[in-house]
Amino acid sequence: MSFYHWQDDDLLLDCHLQPGAKRAEFAGQHGERLKIRISAPPVDGKANDALIRFLADAFAVSRQQVSLLSGQNSRQKRLRIQTPRQLPAELGIQRR
């Protein structure tokens, strides 16, 4: 099993979020999930907002094209990235 799969042209990511880190970065895998470090604290949705900004930049899409499907109040999250324009090489994601 992988931390991502495609649904038509959209990319679904299963992530493990580590808020309060020194910097935002992809940090390998955490079990079956992609580990992402975010500097924002897990308070009042700040970490979720920072995660969406980070992923929008990484996949070259607008923030409106990144949606949190599940895990609003959890470190375990599922996100949809609508029609990503680029795929970060370090993630090894293959287009269908």
Higher pLDDT, 35 or 94: 35
Q: Does the pTM of the predicted model rise above 0.85?
A: yes
3-class secondary structure for 7-29? ECCEEEEEEEEECCCCCCEEEEE
Predicted pLDDT at 24 = 96
Q: Where are the domains of the chain?
A: 4-85
Predicted pLDDT at 28 = 94
12-49 residue pLDDT tens:
999 999 999 999 999 999 999 999 999 999 999 999 99
Q: How confident is the model at residue 1 (pLDDT cuts 50, 70, 90)?
A: low
Predicted pLDDT at 78 = 98
* Measured CA distances, 72 to 52, 69, 76, 86 (Å): 12, 8, 9, 25
Q: How far apart are CA 39 and CA 37, in angstroms?
A: 7
Pairing of strands 10-18, 66-70: unpaired
4-85 is classed CATH 3.40.50.300: no
Q: Which two tokens stand for residue 37?
A: 């470090």
Q: How far apart are CA 56 and CA 50, in angstroms?
A: 10
